[in-house]
Structure 1
Amino acid sequence: MSFRTTALSAALVLAFLTSAQAQQPALQPAATPPLTIACSGPFAKESSHARLQQAFGAQVVAIQKVDGAEGETFEASVLYRSEPARRLEVTWHDDKKRSGLSAASVKTPSTWTGPEGIRIGMTLDEVAKINGQPFRLNGFEWDYGGYVVDLKGKLASLPGGCGMTLRFSPGMALDAKKHAGLIGEKKLSSSDAKLLAVKPVLVSWSVGYGE
């Protein structure tokens, strides 16, 4: 076989391989799980740290100390720990095994969506409408200020057996005299006109399971 014939054959083989490769679909990167929390899947009652890593990737889920109430700190499984908009903190009933989901919690500026479409930035009135009935919450400007304390309705017991914890913050600065009735250790109704007038918004929420 002449050199010219060999070169021609090699060119034809190369052309065929190039054509075949062009017809192959491009490899797509692994899909990023949606930022949605439901009382199932990786957020089911029997979930674990390992299950979160399987669902979101081991590089995304880490053990980290997080802040609790009254200066308390504790360890949690944290997703996207350096990204405020995607950060999610998960605590466990069994801290040693890191299993048995206790709560999955987010706060401003999170973009996670929860059951019934709950998300950071919703108004008090919007959440009450989703819930299907009014609820009570603490007055503002103390350690437990703005937390819903008497949640009944759709958000209190969700499919999958979990419930929600909600915290609101006024959408404007409160005046100590004018808004005295909304400040401190007292219970407020979500339907109170004076409360609605300060435009409370949802600043943190969580889904969780009792013992």
Structure 2
Amino acid sequence: MSLRLLALPALLLAITAAHAQQSAPPSAVAPLTLACSGPFAKDSSHAKLQQAFGAPNVAIQKVDGAEGETFEASVLYRADPSRRLEVTWTDDKKRSGLSSASAKKPSTWTGPEGIRIGMTLDEVAKLNGQPFRLNGFEWDYGGYVVDLKGKLASLPGGCGLMLRFSPGMALDAKKHAGLIGEKKLSSSDAKLLAVKPVLVSWSVGYAE
């Protein structure tokens, strides 16, 4: 038998293995989860975030705050909106002592108790175990939960949760006047549920 024929099975095996490797689907990106511990514990820092997620994935960047203000934060995955997370500090100079960690639409981070962007108002209320109150829409603090009691009000790790909802449809100034402006709404209000509010941002934070 010739050496060429002996080498043929090995060659076919190598080609098959290479083809299988090229055809294999890329490994899925690990889900991003946030708990009030580890890199997001109260004593965290910019350096600890870099250790946990890699220095290239954590950068200092100006972010938008309330009423048009801007401030510096540690931003994870700043170039990828689906993985972006903004972290602020109680000590801005040392960038230490976690103040808040915020996820905004379209972020895919999952927070404490399974909180995630896109959840409906009813889903969050069920997760919480009881209704809560939130601000009316269409002003600087519109849609923010202001009276959170229940399961989501007491989280492992000692952090607090802030939630903001937005109506899932355009509001009519006359028809939906009771849902607009500086007023408090109940998450169980049928008129509120009718406009299908969804969670558009959430954050965890620690009292100073």
> What TM-score results when the alignment is normalised by the length of structure 1?
0.84
Deviation at 1:169, TM superposition (A): 0.3
Deviation at 1:33, TM superposition (A): 6.0
Amino acid at match of 1:168: F
Match of 1:143 in 2: 140
Query: Within 5 A, what are the aligned runs for 1:25-64?
Result: 34-64=31-61
Deviation at 1:69, TM superposition (A): 0.4
Match of 1:108 in 2: 105
Match of 1:180 in 2: 177
Match of 2:77 in 1: 80
How many residues get paired? 187
Distance in 1 separating the partners of 2:33 and 2:87? 14
Task: Give ranges in structure 2 of 5+ residues lacking alignment.
Answer: 1-27
TM-superposition CA deviations, 1:76-130 (whole Å, max 9, x none): 0000001100000000011111111010001110100011111000000000011
Other structure's SS at 2:153 match: coil
Structure 1 segments, 4+ long, off by >2 Å, are 31-34
How high is the sequence identity, in percent, across the aligned residues? 90
Task: Give ranges in structure 1 of 5+ residues lacking alignment.
Answer: 1-30
Amino acid at match of 1:167: R
Distance in 1 separating the partners of 2:43 and 2:30? 19
Match of 1:123 in 2: 120
TM-superposition CA deviations, 1:125-172 (whole Å, max 9, x none): 000011111110000000000000011111112000011000000001
Distance in 1 separating the partners of 2:88 and 2:195? 32
RMSD: 2.1
> What TM-score results when the alignment is normalised by the length of structure 2?
0.86
Amino acid at match of 1:177: K
Confirm whether residue 169 of structure 1 aligns to residue 179 of structure 2: no
Match of 1:132 in 2: 129
Confirm whether residue 190 of structure 1 aligns to residue 195 of structure 2: no
From the CA coordinates, give the structure whose radius of gyration is larger. 1
